[in-house]
Structures are given as structure tokens and as C-alpha cells.
Amino acid sequence: MTARRLRRRASDEIPLALSDLHPLLARVYAARGVRGSDELDYSLRRLPDIWRLRGIRKAAERLQAALQRDESIVIIGDYDADGATSTALAIRGLRAMGCRRLDYLVPNRFDFGYGLSPEIVDLAAEAKPDLIITVDNGIANVAGVERARRHGIDVIITDHHLPGPKLPAATAIVNPNQPGDPFPGKSLAGVGVMLCLLIALRRLLLDAGWFTQRGMTVPKLAAWLDLVALGTVADVVPLDHVNRLLVEQGLRRIRAGQACPGINALLEVAGRDPATVRSSDMGFCAGPRLNAAGRLEDMGTGIECLLTDDPATARQYATELDKLNRARREIEADMQQQALRICERLALDERRLPWGLALHHDDWHQGVVGLVASRLKERYHRPVIAFATAEGGASLKGSARSIPGLHMRDALERIDSRHPGLIEKFGGHAMAAGLSLPAARLDDFRTAFDQTVREMLPQEALEPVVASDGPIEPADLAMETARLLQTCGPWGQGFPEPVFDGRFRIRQRRILKEKHLRYQLLPENGQRPVEAIVFNVEPQEWPDEGETMHIAYRLDINRYQGVESLQLMIEARIDSETVPSFPTTDGDPG
């Protein structure tokens, strides 16, 4: 962790509507663009009208007909946490509404790649389904939908990824990001889109008397918001008001002991108490273990973990996922060391790193390149694409991660339009994307990627900066403040957890496991010392006892053997230079 420059979030004007809140909390909310208490109302009645989603009525009507005709349905999922939770939600929801002939299929990333490919359609067609429903994929699969039509299979697409220039000729498409869609929640994850479709279907079935005629209990879809919370946070979509609402409602159910056994088991094998779960536990504990199945094997284990209602079975699945996650960490560590050596050679040979890093190694694992790209992005603060060799060796499969200021999918689209044939296929979001290209064209792509990044990204965006909510009074360095901030989220992408900065004198310093440091710090103008910890650093590069340092930190609660204590989680050591404050935006420029 290198020292970074500081940039403070601008929050000079506190809206009158926030004046009743704790002053520190009001400042934090104002810096994130909150202007009224309605934006902090996370009750389900605040969910936007789902009928505004373009195509949702047509999709719900087709599903209603499928239930009435007892048709066979196959869910085609994705191999990440959003895809797994979306698949589990679709299965649980449709079963509760009376669907009897229902199955799912998730492409193995090593055999079929991503989405509704013609090959995965051929495999699904062996079971002779009447209807395919995609979850968290499909918007770019024009050929796959065409193949399904040739088999005589209808397709409903539920997705949230950005569409290409041509939409698939599906029976219905539900995607808030398709052209002309008026739904305000553009940042829904795939699991959120699936939830909206289930809400619409239940409404149609209620109006038709479906549940009454069959003596069925009307399903309460809120019971599965734990799945929605996990998928939304793990997919790192921006937490706009709609997503915060869904995540908060899901977290409340988990804390209340109402989660499915699989989510409880994932948290428990990670050493987290479901009763005190936060959004960060979804993103850093449950999500990675669920993702490990799709990265190293296939997502079937993860989905079955979320589908079982037996706690013992869920524990078995979660334990298997935890083992896969440990194996993933070992693979990632080796790949990261290889990537760092490549970057060192690049910097030495070219005297500087490219603005856009595109790296490849023959031994890299396809399922882990995205994590390597993320680590390098954090280390070098620039867009990164890490490539692995696909089976056969003729193609490379890459995973891209961006930094604020560069829309990754737009960058890939610009490269594709300027260099036809250079990219075989691509898709994704502003901050993350996937692509494949001919192995023989890697050097051409590296040049094009670096050039495109230079065109689209201002140079100052490459400077490592930590975003802070400013200093706080020594009196606010207290458990009460930490509890307040933890309960006033959910925090996440686009609505970041509060980070503060300040100068502290070091009273004690202790090295933990060679790479971590525990400090006892005394704040300037303060009389009460506080504990602090920083992970994965080079201890010799950090100040010692008696010295003063300027840090950015989060207020955290350390729970150990039933005792709670305040702890500062150090995010970065700050250089003396501070860049100007930035205005509030929808994202997090830091």
C-alpha cells in the first residue's frame, strides 16, 4: 500500500432535510448526493413501479401461459454470484408459483463461455423445453436466440448488461438498460431484474385467480430478498436508491434469522455472524466463496447451496465452496506475482507503464484473471485487462477492470469499431468487462488499448488518490459513531462507506504476520488513544513509534471473544499534498 494524495468529498451545504441527523452523518450523506429523507427510506413501498420496465408485461404474460399450459422451462444462468443468485431466485420463485417442470443450466466458462451461446442452446434443447429464461445474460446473444428459435424454443431474456447495436429477437426482453426503457433503476443487478419479473408474474396470477383455484399460498417474494442482497452487492453494481433499498431489506432479513440456509452457511464458514451482517460481508465473504465455484469448476455447487432448505446440506456445500475459495487464493497469489514481474519488465523496458495495461501469461487461469486485473488496477491505478489462453490456444479470454473516468465497455466498443476483427466479442459495464481476441493479435490489441485509454482518460486520473469525508472531532472517535455509521448504510459501489482522514501520533506499533501492522494512535488535539490496523503492507515503509502520520481510515468495530472495541481500519497513508475537493457525483471518483 503506497502513500496516496488526498481528495476530500465536497459537502459544504447540508440540505435542510438532513438537519435532524447526527451532524457527521448528515455531512456524509450530503457528500453522496442525498438531498432528502425520502432517499433514505428503504421500505418496500419505495420500490419503483416495475411495470415501467420495458417488456416486462410481455415476459410475465408468456410465463403465465407457460404455467397454465404446464410447459417445460429451463433457466440459463451465469457463472458468477449474480448469476447464481438470479438462478436460485428464479427457481425458488417459479416453484412457489406452481411451476412443476423446471430446471436450470449454467454454462461452464471453460467449455461454453459466457451467456446464451448457440452451443449451450443445443445442450438445453436435448431436454426439449418449451421456454428458456436467461438470468444475468442474454442481451448480447443474438445468435443464441436465433438457434433457440430454430429449435422451436421461446426465449425470455432478463439481463442488466449494456446492449450492443442489435437486440436478440427474443419473445421478450427485460433489461432496464435496453433502449427506450423508462425504469429509473438503471443499476439493477441481474437478480434485481429477475425479482421484478417475479413480482409482475405474481400480479398477473393473482388477477387470474391462479392461487385461489389451486388452493395455493400466495408466495411472499420479500422472503428471498436475501438472495437479491447477495447478488447485488457481489456484482458491484452502483448502490443507487433502488439497489440500496433491495440490499437493506435483504440484510434485515438475514440479521433476523430469515435467510436461506445457504447464505447462513456461507457466512458462517467465513467466520461472520449472520445477526450482525453488513453489505461488506456480502461482497468480501459470501460473494467470493460463491464465485469460487464458477471460477474453478462450475456454478452448480453454488446454486445448489442457495436452493437447499436443509441447513446440514447447505453447510456441506458451503464447506466445499470454502475449500474452492482457498484454492482460488493460492492460484491468484501465484498469478499476481507473475503479473507484477511482467509490469516491472514493462516499466524497465519502456521506462514507464502504459496507461492501459493488457497482460497475458500462458499459465494463467481463465477463472481468476478478473481478480488479477482488479489487484493490478488498485496497485497501479490504471485500467487493466488480464488475458488467459483459451482451450486450443488460438484465442485469448480477457477480464477487464477500469478506474473512475474510463467507461470500459465504451473503450472496447471504440477499439472494435476502429479495428474490425481485432476483438472477437466483448460485453460488460463501465467498470468491468469481458472479451476474447485472437492470440496472434495480442500486441495489436495492447497498442490499441493503450492509445484508446490515453484518448479517453485525463492524465490526472492516473494519480493514486484516496477519497475522504474529511477530518472528524476526537470525540467522534468512539464506538457510538462506529455503530451509527455501520447501521446507516448499506454502503457499497457508488455509495461508499465513509472514510475520514487525520493526523495521529504513534504511541505503539506491532507487526502481525510479517505483512500487517497494529498501531495505538493518539489523534491531534485528542487525549484518548485509539487502536488501528493496516493489512498487507511493507512494515519498513511505515512510520514507527513516536512519529506522526496522516492517514485515511474507516471506523470499525473489532469483535473478539464477545468483546467489542473501536478500531480504525487504515485505508491509506496520505502524502502531504492535497488535491481540491470534488463535487458530488453518481459514482465515487476516488
Domains annotated on the chain, with CATH: 4-11+465-582 (2.40.50.460), 44-322 (3.90.1640.30), 356-456 (3.10.310.30)
Angle at the Cα of 557 from the Cα atoms of 551 and 558, rounded to 5 degrees: 100
The strands making up 154-158's β-sheet, listed across from edge to edge, are 102-105, 73-76, 131-135, 154-158, 172-174
Report the distance separating Cα 199 and Cα 253, nearest Å.
Answer: 18
136 in Cβ contact with 83 (< 8 Å): yes
Q: What is the pLDDT of residue 16?
A: 83
Angle at the Cα of 100 from the Cα atoms of 98 and 103, rounded to 5 degrees: 120
From the number of C-beta atoms within 10 Å of its C-beta (0-12, 13-18, 19+), residue 458 rates as exposed
Report the distance separating Cα 356 and Cα 405, nearest Å.
Answer: 13
Phi, psi angle pair for 281, to nearest 5°: -70, -30
AA letter at 580: P
AA letter at 64: Q
262 in Cβ contact with 226 (< 8 Å): no
Q: What is the pLDDT of residue 349?
A: 64
The sign of the dihedral angle between the CA atoms of 478, 482, 488, 491 is: positive
What's the start-to-end Cα distance of the chain, in Å?
A: 16
- Residues with pLDDT less than 70, the chain: 1-2, 11-12, 349-351, 576-590
Percent of residues, the chain, with pLDDT higher than 70: 96
Confidence (pTM): 0.90
5 in Cβ contact with 590 (< 8 Å): no
pLDDT, tens only, 11-25 = 667 888 888 999 999
pLDDT, tens only, 27-83 = 999 999 999 989 999 999 999 999 999 999 999 999 999 999 999 999 999 989 999
Q: Please report how the helices 225-234 and 261-269 are oriented relative to each other, as an axis angle in degrees rounded to 10.
A: 40
Q: What is the pLDDT of residue 66?
A: 98
Q: What is the pLDDT of residue 333?
A: 94
242 in Cβ contact with 185 (< 8 Å): yes
6 in Cβ contact with 588 (< 8 Å): no
Q: What is the pLDDT of residue 581?
A: 55
